[in-house]
Every structure is written in structure tokens, then in C-alpha cells.
Amino acid sequence: MLNDALQKLEETARSPKRAMEAYRQAGRPVAGCIPEYTPEVMVHAAGFIPFGLWGGETTIMLADSYIPTFACSLVRSCAEYGLNGTYRGLSFIIAPILCDALKGCVQTFRVAVKDPPVLPFSLPQNRTLPSAAAFTAQEYRALGEKIQKLTGAGISGQAMRRSIRIYNEHSRAMRDFDRAAAEHTDVIGARARQAVFKSAWFMEKEEHTGLVRQITRALEERPACRKNPARVVLTGVSAGSAALMELLEEEGFDVVGDHVYQDSWTYLHPIREDLEDPVMALAEHWIQVGGSCVAHERRRSRSAAVLKLAKEREAGAVVLCLMKFCDPEEYEAPLMLAELKKSCPTLTLDIDQNSDNLEQLRTKIQTFRDVLDS
Ligand code: SF4
């Protein structure tokens, strides 16, 4: 049972396009969600399968005409897939305006990618103002109206409350898996762990919750087993490809936790179910985000959160997965690295979706391993 569920999630993580086509052939409409902090719940409540658009390993042929080469590789890949037709078949795409690269991405879709249409929305950065939650809720409501105008699909309060319950249940399942996986690295290596988290972006949440619960139950029935003494936690927007996880495995690292938006970080906090207005509950979910490079904080809390996680999971090192040319992440990195390195050996790896050359990363990981062993 464990292997079957794991295999299904690994296949989905490997071939998102195939997963999207399978939904469409089954008559289920699919809508793209460009990260980060996109309110998938609204897409779900409108009756679409929310589908994470995380770019992918691709050579840029078309996007360079619209997006500068110094934009992050996630956005460049998304634009490339939009321009070359990979995203055709999606009913629409929603995209947050969170950073300059995303602004450029949205403009590219508006100007050069008519199919699927893109529906942007803004998220406020000054989240300490009392009006910030109301502004966010207003943006979400406007987004809901755009979805309705385009597709005819309205979003009722009842549907929103149901979707919030489904998403909270999924988040609980992911947190349980995360803890169980850290104590069963003999079965859940870095690649398998990443596949469980990645596949969540390409699968209906109800189905994903069921499969993840199966895996967690099977792990909990087994005695705890740590494969390698070298335990690391990851941090970043995305921890990159399965090939990078394979490199970490080859060099004898167990990944036992992460503060990675694409992986477990997104499941930390539930959306409130006790508020009368579910759109406001979703807005408050954004307001309380902490420790993220794309959510402004007066006092940055990310390094403390990463170190706390490393301590809890008995990890001896941190790996910062730095999305190449991600302005918010690169702006935060010097201060964060200085704080991390005071308490824990820390390795920085560049994540570049537009290059398949892993040899530099291999050398850095091997050297880091030697330093830890010495
Ligand atoms: S936050 Fe960073 S990784 Fe995310 S879209 Fe903006 S530049 Fe790219």
C-alpha cells in the first residue's frame, strides 16, 4: 500500500502535464495557479482543479523576447510554457503580484499569451495596517468576480467554507507526513519526500489527502529508522528538481524538514473556520504569514524559524535553496545566512530551472559533506 501510494505521487510529480490531461479527459476543468500565496481555495470553491504552475526544467526559446534574463528561472519557465502552448487547456490562470518578476510574467501573459487568460490580483505588503486584511479580501472578491465573468462559475460562501475544510484537512495530513517522514528516512529519502510535496500542487486535494494518509499510516506502523547520520533541513522558495534531491541522497544526506514554500512551509497554518466570512478568513491567512521572503516583516523571522526546525528534527545543517535571480530571496539572503551560520553549518545552492548542469551543485554538496565530516 505504501509503495503504491508513493509511486502514484512520484508519477504525478514527474509528469504534471499528464496529470492535467487526465483531469481534462475526465471532464474536470483545470485552472493554473502561479505561486506564491495564490488562493487556491477560491479556485477549488469555483469548481476547478487548482493546478500549481511551478515552471519546470526547460530551455528558454521564446520567453527571452519578453522577460529579462535576470528574472528568476521560475517566472522565465512559466512564461516559456505560456508562450509555447504548454498551458493550453487550462481554463484560466491566476497570478499574484508579489514581486517585480511576477509583474513581468503577468504582462507577458496579457500581451502574448491569450490562451489561457491570466487573472492577476495584488497582495498587500504592509500587513500590520488594520486595513490590510480588508484590502486583501477585496482583491479576492474581485478575483472571484473575474472568474465568474470569464467562466460563469460563481463562488458561494458555502462552497468556500467546504473548500477551506478540505484544504485544512489536507494541511493536517501533510504536517503528519512531514513528521513521520523525518523518522523514516530509510523509506522516505529526499526524492520521495519531495515528490509527496510536489505532487500536491498537481492533484485534487481530496485525492492527495487520502494517498498521503495511507503513506503516513504505513510509516507509523514501522519502527523509526534514520538512514544517514547527516540530517539537513532545506529552506527556499523551491528546492528544485528530483535530480538535486538525488544528489543529496547520493552524498548521504537525509532531508528531515524544510522551510520551503513549494514543500511543507505552505501547510504550517490552518485557515480559520470560525469566521462568518470565509473570504476574510482567507485574507487573514495571508496577513499572518511569517518567515517568508515575499511577505514583508519589520523583523525578519525566517532564520529563527529554520534554526528551530533544525533543532526539533535533530538536523546538523541547513541548505539554502536560492532561486537564481529571485530578488526578494537574494535581498534577504546575506542577513539570513549570517544568522544561520552563527548556529549551524549552512550550504547555499543555486536553483536554476533553465540549466540541467548539476556538476557545480554536486561539487558544492560533496565539499560540504567533507567539511561536516572533518
Ligand atoms: S518571489 Fe522570487 S521565485 Fe517567486 S516569482 Fe518572485 S522572483 Fe521568482
- pLDDT by residue (tens digit) across 251-284? 999 999 999 999 999 999 999 999 999 999 999 9
Mutate to test the pocket of ligand 1, among 296, 323, 331, 332 (most ligand atoms within 8 A of CB): 323
The predicted model scores a pTM of 0.95
Q: Which atom of ligand 1 is nearest to the CA of 102?
A: 5
| pLDDT bracket for residue 356 (50, 70, 90) | confident
Q: β-strands 93-97, 30-33: how paired?
A: parallel
- Mean pLDDT, range 82-110, rounded to an integer: 95
- Mean pLDDT, range 344-350, rounded to an integer: 96
Mutate to test the pocket of ligand 1, among 38, 329, 330 (most ligand atoms within 8 A of CB): 329
Predicted pLDDT at 293: 86
| pLDDT bracket for residue 2 (50, 70, 90) | confident
| pLDDT bracket for residue 24 (50, 70, 90) | very high
Does residue 123's CB lie within 6 angstroms of at least one atom of ligand 1? no
Does residue 105's CB lie within 6 angstroms of at least one atom of ligand 1? no
321/348 Cα distance (integer angstroms): 6
The rounded Cα 286 to chain-centroid distance in angstroms is 15
Mean pLDDT over the full length of the chain:
95
Q: Which atom of ligand 1 is nearest to the CA of 71?
A: 7
Q: Exposure pattern of 202-227 as b/e (b: 16+ CB <10 Å)? A: bbbbeebbebbbbbbebbeeeeeeeb
Predicted pLDDT at 261: 94
Is 90 exceeded by the pLDDT of residue 191?
yes
- Mean pLDDT, range 341-356, rounded to an integer: 91
List alpha helices for the chain, DSSP H.
Answer: 2-14, 16-25, 40-45, 73-83, 100-112, 131-151, 157-182, 190-199, 205-220, 242-250, 278-287, 302-312, 327-343, 359-373
| pLDDT bracket for residue 156 (50, 70, 90) | very high
pLDDT digits (tens, 9 = 90+) for 276-326: 999 999 999 999 998 888 888 888 899 999 999 999 999 999 999 999 999
pLDDT digits (tens, 9 = 90+) for 127-146: 999 899 999 999 999 999 99
Share above pLDDT 70 across residues of the chain, in percent, rounded to a whole number? 100
- Mean pLDDT, range 202-208, rounded to an integer: 97
| pLDDT bracket for residue 330 (50, 70, 90) | very high
The rounded Cα 131 to chain-centroid distance in angstroms is 27
Q: Please report the sign of the dihedral spanned by the C-alpha atoms of residue 345, residue 350, residue 356, residue 359.
A: negative
Is 80 exceeded by the pLDDT of residue 17?
yes
Q: Where are the domains of the chain?
A: 22-153
Is 80 exceeded by the pLDDT of residue 98?
yes
Predicted pLDDT at 209: 98
Does residue 352's CB lie within 6 angstroms of at least one atom of ligand 1? no
- Mean pLDDT, range 334-355, rounded to an integer: 93
- Mean pLDDT, range 187-213, rounded to an integer: 97
Does residue 52's CB lie within 6 angstroms of at least one atom of ligand 1? no
Q: Which atom of ligand 1 is nearest to the CA of 238?
A: 3
Predicted pLDDT at 150: 96
Residues 6+ apart with CB under 8 A from 1: 214, 218
368/348 Cα distance (integer angstroms): 10
- Up-side HSE of residue 180: CA atoms within 13 Å toward CB? 20
Residue whose Cα lies nearest atom 5 of ligand 1: it is: 102
**Ligand 1 centroid from CA 99, angstroms:** 6
- CATH code that applies to domain 22-153: 3.40.50.11890
Q: Are 183 and 226 in contact (CB under 8 A)?
A: yes
**Ligand 1 centroid from CA 291, angstroms:** 15
Does residue 211's CB lie within 6 angstroms of at least one atom of ligand 1? no
Does residue 256's CB lie within 6 angstroms of at least one atom of ligand 1? no
Contacts 24+ apart (CB under 8 A), 23-27: 23/49, 23/204, 24/89
Residue whose Cα lies nearest atom 7 of ligand 1: it is: 326
Does residue 79's CB lie within 6 angstroms of at least one atom of ligand 1? no
Predicted pLDDT at 114: 83
**Ligand 1 centroid from CA 100, angstroms:** 8
The residue type found at 368 is F
67/81 Cα distance (integer angstroms): 13
Does residue 106's CB lie within 6 angstroms of at least one atom of ligand 1? no
Mutate to test the pocket of ligand 1, among 33, 99, 122, 292 (most ligand atoms within 8 A of CB): 99
